[in-house]
Structure 1
Amino acid sequence: MTGPRKGENESEDEAGGIAGPARREDEALLTGRAEYTDDLRDPDAAHLAFVRSEYGHAEIEGIDATAAAELEGVLGVYTWDDVAASESPGVLPSSTGSLDCEVPAHPVLARDRVRYQGQPIAAVVAENRYRARDAVDAVAVDYDPLEAVVDSVEATAEGAPTLFDGAPDNVAATTDQGDREATEDAFDDPENVVDIELENNRLISSALEPRAALAEYDAAEDRFTVTMTSQSPHGHRQKLAHTLGLSERQIRVISPSVGGGFGHKGHHHPGEAMAAWCARDLERPVKWTATRSENYLEGAHGRDHRTTAELAIDDDGAIRGLRVETHANVGGYGLDGGASMPGWYGGLLSSQYRIPAIHCETHAVFTNTAPVHSYRGAGRPEAIYVTERLVDVAARELGIDPVEFRRRNLIEPDQFPYETPVGASYDSGDYERGLEEALELADYDDLRARGRDRDDGRLRGVGVACYTESTGGGFESGVVRVHRDGGVTVSAGTHSHGQGHETTYANLVADVLEIPTDDIDVMEGDSDSIPTGTGTFGSRSTIVGGSAIVESAEAVLAKARRFAADRLEVEPDAVAYGDGEFSVRDGAESGSGSSADTVSFADVAGMAYGWGVPEDMDPGLEETTFYEPDGTAYTFGTHVAVVAIDPETGELELERYVAVDDCGERLEPTIVEGQVHGGVAQGIGQAVSERASYDGDGTLLTNSLDSYAVPRASHLPEIETGQTVTPSPRNPLGVKGIGEAGTIAAPPAVVNAVVDALAHLGVRHVDMPLTDEAIWRAIRDSK
């Protein structure tokens, strides 16, 4: 697809040439005109705050809200008893039906026990947020502390504290992927078996904007309008309806500008639900904005896997089998599908390799920690990390260069579509070409020739990580509505919060209709004005939403051609179209009554909504498509990290980072680059600094940006990018998602580089995050 034409939405570089289309979203964001949920000012709005559990695990013996309720400006103090007495179920949706146990769903306010620190116990509503927080401090809660468990392996041990009577061993579900018997056969008598134990560290979403909601209730209509930070407005409408006990038509969800999602804002939390519940009870708007610490305490966390993995290999380096067992921490409750999500993470364990037999057993385990759900990548980073670390260890133990080991096992281009032993069906790819592009861009051979030691005394290492990423899935809606004057409004069920949908979708429609992008508006984020949609997550928006929009635009053009044919008095197949004008094709003759040689797109739009619409046609020029792709599209690539380590202090420097990705057709290269850069930054953050840590009592130690180490710009190298293009045959655009590639590839690439630098000391593995202290201890212990 081509972008907009010069003069419509393009910028110039210093030499006066075209630098590429400017993102349409950027001006409002950069000038501060974008409106976020907390920017909304309703003079009648009251403010909601929560009393949160001080303990990771405790019985609630009593709640005394007398002092809080007597404070001036306090409008209400609510506990679970108040919710239970209402007509609302008061619990968050949960996929408990897919679990191996019977456990209660997450209540919006704790019933009689708290299972993680920060769990809401009482809700306070006051005239302003300051008085609401004063009232929170005035609520007295009487606890009976219980023993806590925060580690997913320890939680399954005999004698561990039990969170739910229905899950006495704390296991929510155990899932098998692959063929256990075939994998056991592969390990029966292998020439080599290599194993590794590793941790995929727990992460906390650190979006610029914490979660927030403004809930309004119309008693006359018995209907809510909830403006909130959401990646999926229609999904949140459904979830709010579940919690409040309403039909979806009684709820409108609006999602304005959202300052980062990363999966965190696709889930349902007590804050949004209680804002709506309180708005109905008080019959006035209620606003809630989480603090950063609240977001860290009670927002959904990500990752947190403990894994043991083994690889069976022949002497020549051919992989025979992969065996994996993982304990996945799902926290104190099964938030939405969070407890069942680990059951499919093994679907990408094959990565880019021909592995004849794979078996993965995953235990989803309850602990006294915040609920865990999807975080940018949602299972794909966890799977690729296991395989890429294990492949690197295997290559080193067999004395084979890690790149050569990978080459020997890569899936060949003529093997696509490729069915893996764990149920994935790869659509297309040329994995070796992507690998070679990355190695050439990184000067891999030169780095190897220069060796580990340099004049400055630091140790150098090079790490390579190959990856695949499943993208797309589900259905999406796309509406293209042409107005009487020829202007166009595009609506989609996705939501843009950094992905650049307004630019991408406008350009897609401009390409089909051949009109300026300035004539096209893009709408998202309102469940009332847009047909039911699925939302933005899982690198799906352009694949599914973009395809829906293009199909609608093509249908609009086909109908417009029929209107033009009527004006030109020819058959529709005799009508040519280009640059916004319909004309009679060469060699075709128009009817004797027609005086027009051409008719513009805008004129056709006027015909569609004017008098004299042809009898065999309906008025209007608008089409709606619900599109679902033929299958999953699999992005792939190779990333290379180069590190330098001070052996005396463990200080780590990322000297270079190279990312070569293949996301099929690149409709908007600038947006693709931005997604890669952002993903790599988050992946490096996980690799070198980020980890959510609890003490043994379930107290979150990393509860603010002072203690949770998000990387700064100065911590990141310049990210060098390259590309290969292998179109996907499973959608009409030939695209694959790119939003999570960096978070998948960066952690194993960086860890592989650090281990490469330290391997001569006998260091075999270092768990993330690779802090200076962790590296220093690995060096010390090796000595």
Structure 2
Amino acid sequence: MPSPLPSPASTSPRQGVVPAVGRSVPRLEDPPLVRGSAMFAGDIRPEGAVVMMVVRSPVAHGAITTIDTDVARSIPGVVAVWTADDVRRDLGQVPHISPRLSETPRADHYLQPVLAIGRVRYVGEPVAIVLATDRYTAEDAAETVFVDIDPLAPVVDPVEPDPCRIFPMGNEVQAFHARFGNAERAFQEAPVVIECRLRIGRHTAIPMETRGLVVDYVSDDQTLIVYGSTKVPHWNRRELARQLQIDPQRIIMKETSIGGGFGVRGEFYPEDFLTAWCALRLRRPVLWGEDRREHFIATNHSREQNHVASIAGDLEGNVLGLRSEFWLDLGAYVRTNGLRVPENTVTWMPGPYDIRNYEGIAHCVITNKTPAATYRAPGGVECTFVRERLMDMLAARVGIDPLELRRKNLISTDQMPYARQTIDAVPAIVLDEGDFHSLFEKVVGRLGVDDVERRRSTGEQVGFGIATFFERSGAGPFERGSVSATAEGAITVRSGASSVGQGLRTMLAQVTGDVFDVSPELITVALLDTTETDAGVGSFGSRSTMMAGAAVREAAMKLIDEARSTAAEMLGVDPDRISVRNGVLSDDSSGRSVDLAAVAQASGPGGTLHAEADFKVTAPIYDFGAHGAVVSVDPETGVPRIERLVVGFDVGKAINPKLVEGQFIGAAVQGVGGALLEELLYDPDGNPLVTSLMDYLMPTASEVPPIETIIDESHPTDHNPLGAKGAGEGGITGIPAAISGAIAHAISDHERVTSFPIHPSSLLEASPLPPIRKETTP
């Protein structure tokens, strides 16, 4: 219970509190985390619960001949062992997981069943489930389940023609075509054309807490309470109800604390269905939590793309055209948002540059790997790497400073609103806010370019790199927020968004506190519960502040308007004369006042004021960012050392600058990992070679320098009442590209650095790329 609102003497003058929005208020989420009192999914143990273990395929591709569960069923403590046949007998079918974003008709043929039906398509695919009274027994029993599989030829390279059809319709799910202008003519007429192959490696997010779920069964009304769902709990609730063939009202989603999300957690996976189905069938609670090995082979992968890309320009450094055809490795199935990554990549490829001619083709290909989908800044990281490498190559080829080349081509403020329609079925991209040149120069100014050039003149292998980009944020269509005030003085806030570690509850408390003119510490932001907030969209795509923050603000203002009317009746004055300071409603003319708790008491039965609001938008925002890096390369070992990272991003209005800074720094560290260390590798038979943190390298303090942040608040948006833009992804998008550019500059060979993660061996024996000033390139 929060402290009650202040109740000063009713006739004393009051001074309002300092507004919280715009200040670095300490995170309200942290005290329970530090004290160890926060409740994670693994902390919830309903009475009578059983533990579920998933039996996973050890083979990348094959036909299931038999699944022998007899030994497992005979082990004491085992409650049940089930396969797809049991699901089919119970429901009449084995559910497949629906797409959540970027739905296409062809994708329906490539959706994942909750348990394998007749064929396995990746190492780690669920084929059976074991339920036991404790985890040790469940694990031991799962190891006795014998799955006989006739191997089929695996597909591990998305670029090669189909050596084996994983699905009857072929291995290419979809090809997205994006274009504007006349790229073919631009390339034919351009004095300089550069084409190269570029590759982005496969990696994933590594949250401290792996996925886990607890499903409680309430026998009185056969309700399921799901703990641990995050990111998009309302969508997951609808999808789960569809698969279980029950009314969504029988499913309650309850938020818990979470140890990181980053895009891979909170989507709907087979385990989301299996835990709930088992609880419903057994009529008792079910617990499930993956170990780290399962995380590497079962949770979404991301990033892997192979591009054949080209840039056309003139000898003065003007970009005349851009092209890229690429193959994205989707893994074995189309998951809930798997097609959003190629769609973003192909539509965002031209970036924040004034490029008039573009053509892109994205081939979305199935392989026998763990399915892939979104990871922080999906598609943005990939297209920024491709585009910025081409920009650096063009600058080197024509002998122009890479900074100057970008200055020539960045979209200027007098060109805004700048609209692009790349795919007919996808809404146009409209860049209508910000000063790209100004933020670019701020980042350049922090890099110490002159010092880098001085060191290079002495023979040192050091270089700088810069990358510019835009990110989409604030996607709709809506978000819900509510605010309640009680006669006991408590103010409670709820929203349809969920916390994935980004400081959501602190931000919502700041926004609400300013409306009530009270300290954020007096606001309770409740964990999401679908019985309290029955609709919402969720926390992804840098939307939480703009959408949930605006919805809660609107609800708080509605509640204050209601409270002002009640207070006016209590004081016998016109509502227009009522002001709010320190949570107290006052008639400034007479000096008389009444606190919010008394107003709530007078509002009617229950003594609670309540207001709810939906904030709606019809189009997202596109935010500009620029990242810079200084990197030195050891000439003997090829090992790069990052000396400086600068992260600049236009956030519109920072509700809490310290939270924004934390988002930038955390994201940049993930970008360093992707650029230099992290990679998920497979052998030719589709066996994963990386299944633990012994194999998957992650950045430490040794690899990451102090990160400088530039929080640009010079262009608040008018798309929402807070003026805020996105921040969650703006710290990672350009980092791999900037590091790659800096390394290429250090070794004086921009055409050698064509993939990431960048391996030291690839940087040895580099040769400089001579500038071309007067000749044309065929």
TM-score > 0.5, shorter chain as reference = yes
Structure 1, 331-340 or 139-148: larger mean CA deviation: 331-340
Does 2:729 match 1:728?
A: no
Shift of 1:522: 0.3
Structure 1 residues 406 and 145, CA gap change in structure 2 (3 angstroms): same
Shift of 1:274: 0.9
What is the total number of aligned residue pairs between the two structures?
747
- Alpha-carbon distance in 2 for matches of 1:445, 1:493: 49
Does 2:52 match 1:52?
A: no
Does 2:538 match 1:528?
A: no
Shift of 1:578: 3.0
Shift of 1:626: 1.1
Question: What amino acid is the match of 1:570?
Answer: V
Residue in 2 that maps onto 1:174: 175
Structure 1 residues 553 and 290, CA gap change in structure 2 (3 angstroms): same
Residue in 2 that maps onto 1:255: 255
- Alpha-carbon distance in 1 for matches of 2:246, 2:486: 35
Shift of 1:445: 3.0
- Alpha-carbon distance in 2 for matches of 1:225, 1:90: 22
Residue in 2 that maps onto 1:13: none
Residue in 2 that maps onto 1:133: 139
- Aligned pairs for 1:463-612 (under 5 A) are 463-474=465-476, 475-585=478-588, 597-609=592-604
1:297-334 C-alpha deviation (Å, 9 max, x unpaired): 11111111111111221222122221111111111111
Is residue 155–residue 686 contact of structure 2 (8 Å, CA) maintained in 1? yes
- Alpha-carbon distance in 2 for matches of 1:772, 1:693: 17
Structure 1, 89-98 or 320-329: larger mean CA deviation: 89-98
- Alpha-carbon distance in 2 for matches of 1:406, 1:6: 47
Structure 1 residues 228 and 578, CA gap change in structure 2 (3 angstroms): closer
- Alpha-carbon distance in 2 for matches of 1:367, 1:274: 24
1:569-596 C-alpha deviation (Å, 9 max, x unpaired): 232223333333333355xxx7xxxxx7
Structure 1 residues 747 and 489, CA gap change in structure 2 (3 angstroms): same
- Alpha-carbon distance in 2 for matches of 1:410, 1:98: 34
- Alpha-carbon distance in 1 for matches of 2:280, 2:550: 39
1:436 alignment partner, SS class: helix
- Alpha-carbon distance in 1 for matches of 2:696, 2:16: 45
Structure 1 residues 230 and 581, CA gap change in structure 2 (3 angstroms): closer
Is residue 646–residue 707 contact of structure 2 (8 Å, CA) maintained in 1? yes
Structure 1 residues 68 and 362, CA gap change in structure 2 (3 angstroms): same
Does 2:742 match 1:753?
A: yes
Does 2:216 match 1:185?
A: no
Is residue 197–residue 754 contact of structure 2 (8 Å, CA) maintained in 1? no
Shift of 1:205: 1.9
Structure 1 residues 177 and 477, CA gap change in structure 2 (3 angstroms): same
Structure 1, 722-731 or 535-544: larger mean CA deviation: 722-731
Is residue 65–residue 150 contact of structure 2 (8 Å, CA) maintained in 1? yes
Is residue 46–residue 216 contact of structure 2 (8 Å, CA) maintained in 1? no
Question: What amino acid is the match of 1:45?
Answer: A
- Alpha-carbon distance in 1 for matches of 2:53, 2:382: 35
1:715-736 C-alpha deviation (Å, 9 max, x unpaired): 2111011232211121111111
2:278 alignment partner, SS class: helix
Structure 1, 699-708 or 525-534: larger mean CA deviation: 525-534
- Aligned pairs for 1:261-276 (under 5 A) are 261-276=261-276
- Alpha-carbon distance in 2 for matches of 1:218, 1:503: 33
- Alpha-carbon distance in 1 for matches of 2:405, 2:73: 68
Does 2:696 match 1:690?
A: no
Does 2:700 match 1:700?
A: no
1:113-133 C-alpha deviation (Å, 9 max, x unpaired): 000111011111111111111
- Alpha-carbon distance in 2 for matches of 1:109, 1:584: 65
Shift of 1:6: 12
Shift of 1:604: 2.3
Residue in 1 that maps onto 2:448: 443
Question: What amino acid is the match of 1:602?
Answer: A
Shift of 1:484: 1.8
Residue in 2 that maps onto 1:161: 164
- Alpha-carbon distance in 2 for matches of 1:781, 1:666: 42
Residue in 1 that maps onto 2:290: 290
Structure 1 residues 19 and 737, CA gap change in structure 2 (3 angstroms): closer
2:124 pairs with one of 84, 107, 118: 118
Question: What amino acid is the match of 2:66?
Answer: G
2:115 pairs with one of 104, 109, 116: 109
Is residue 441–residue 722 contact of structure 1 (8 Å, CA) maintained in 2? no
- Alpha-carbon distance in 2 for matches of 1:777, 1:706: 30
1:217-249 C-alpha deviation (Å, 9 max, x unpaired): 234423211112422221221221122222211
RCO greater where, 1 or 2, for CA within 8 Å and sep 6 or more?
A: 2
- Alpha-carbon distance in 2 for matches of 1:582, 1:281: 54
Question: What amino acid is the match of 2:48?
Answer: D
Shift of 1:452: 5.7
- Aligned pairs for 1:628-647 (under 5 A) are 628-647=616-635
Residue in 1 that maps onto 2:730: 741
Residue in 2 that maps onto 1:767: 755
Structure 1, 66-75 or 558-567: larger mean CA deviation: 558-567
- Alpha-carbon distance in 2 for matches of 1:97, 1:673: 34
1:458-482 C-alpha deviation (Å, 9 max, x unpaired): 5111111112111111211000111
Structure 1 residues 137 and 610, CA gap change in structure 2 (3 angstroms): closer
1:459 pairs with one of 453, 458, 461: 461
Question: What amino acid is the match of 1:488?
Answer: I
Question: What amino acid is the match of 2:670?
Answer: Q
Question: What amino acid is the match of 1:434?
Answer: L
- Alpha-carbon distance in 2 for matches of 1:513, 1:684: 42
Structure 1 residues 266 and 41, CA gap change in structure 2 (3 angstroms): closer
Aligned-residue identity in percent: 35
Question: What amino acid is the match of 1:111?
Answer: I
TM-score normalised by structure 2 residue count: 0.92
Is residue 568–residue 578 contact of structure 2 (8 Å, CA) maintained in 1? yes
Shift of 1:48: 0.8
Structure 1 residues 581 and 77, CA gap change in structure 2 (3 angstroms): closer
2:188 alignment partner, SS class: coil
Structure 2, unmatched stretches of 5+, are 1-5, 7-14, 423-427, 771-778
1:498-534 C-alpha deviation (Å, 9 max, x unpaired): 1111111111011111123232100232222223111
Question: What amino acid is the match of 1:205?
Answer: A
Shift of 1:251: 0.8
Residue in 2 that maps onto 1:364: 364
Does 2:284 match 1:280?
A: no
Is residue 97–residue 269 contact of structure 2 (8 Å, CA) maintained in 1? no
1:673 alignment partner, SS class: helix
CA RMSD of aligned residues (A): 2.5
Structure 1, unmatched stretches of 5+, are 11-17, 591-595, 612-618
Structure 1 residues 672 and 355, CA gap change in structure 2 (3 angstroms): same
Is residue 647–residue 709 contact of structure 2 (8 Å, CA) maintained in 1? yes
Residue in 2 that maps onto 1:616: none
Question: What amino acid is the match of 2:451?
Answer: D
TM-score normalised by structure 1 residue count: 0.91
- Alpha-carbon distance in 2 for matches of 1:486, 1:250: 33
Question: What amino acid is the match of 2:729?
Answer: E
1:65-123 C-alpha deviation (Å, 9 max, x unpaired): 11111111111111111011012643242339604366253111111100011101111
Is residue 65–residue 140 contact of structure 1 (8 Å, CA) maintained in 2? yes
1:301 alignment partner, SS class: coil
1:370-421 C-alpha deviation (Å, 9 max, x unpaired): 1111111122212222211111111111111111000001111122222135
Does 2:426 match 1:426?
A: no
Shift of 1:777: 6.9
Shift of 1:134: 0.8
- Alpha-carbon distance in 1 for matches of 2:522, 2:23: 22
Structure 1, 349-358 or 771-780: larger mean CA deviation: 771-780
1:763-782 C-alpha deviation (Å, 9 max, x unpaired): 53241112323334767999
Is residue 460–residue 757 contact of structure 1 (8 Å, CA) maintained in 2? yes
Shift of 1:252: 1.0
Question: What amino acid is the match of 2:755?
Answer: D
Is residue 97–residue 113 contact of structure 2 (8 Å, CA) maintained in 1? no
Is residue 682–residue 742 contact of structure 1 (8 Å, CA) maintained in 2? no
2:55 alignment partner, SS class: strand
